[in-house]
Amino acid sequence: MPAYIISDVTIRDAEAFQTYRTRAATSIAHYDGHYLVRGGPIEKLEGDWSPQAIVIVEFPDLEQARAWYGSPEYAHALEVRDRALSRNLILVDGVSLEA
């Protein structure tokens, strides 16, 4: 069953963000993840939430998502994260599409 990493991102430093983004993308691919949403336009429909950028990454399952998050490959991206951005990050289990 797929699992999703969902991130609400605020960019702090554009140059550092590009470094983080490149490193994160490489690490995500290494763990069989792929982007579903990567910072496109946001239209608020309800509520008080006003994110600047949303990122959604799909992994094959929770185990792969957790393995990516704790990986040395992703740790390389985390070296610049605090300079690059602030964020809220959650892991969500998906649903089976089988009937």
Question: Between the CA of residue 9 and those of 1, 39, 60, what are the distances in Å?
Answer: 26, 9, 23
Q: What is the mean pLDDT of residues 18-34?
A: 97
Please state the separation of Cα 9 from the chain's center in Å.
Answer: 9
Question: Which of 48, 49, 65, 66 shows the shortest CA–CA distance to 57?
Answer: 65
* Rounded percentage of the chain residues whose pLDDT exceeds 70: 99
Angle at 78 between CA 74 and CA 80, to 5 degrees: 135
pLDDT in tens, 41-70: 999 999 999 999 999 999 999 999 999 999
Alpha-carbon span 13 to 49, nearest angstrom = 22
Q: Where are the chain's structural domains?
A: 3-42+62-87
Q: What is the mean pLDDT of residues 75-96?
A: 95
Q: Which secondary structure element, helix H or strand E, spans residue 67, and what is its range?
A: helix 62-69
pTM of the model: 0.91
What is the architecture of the domain spanning 3-42+62-87? 2-Layer Sandwich (3.30)
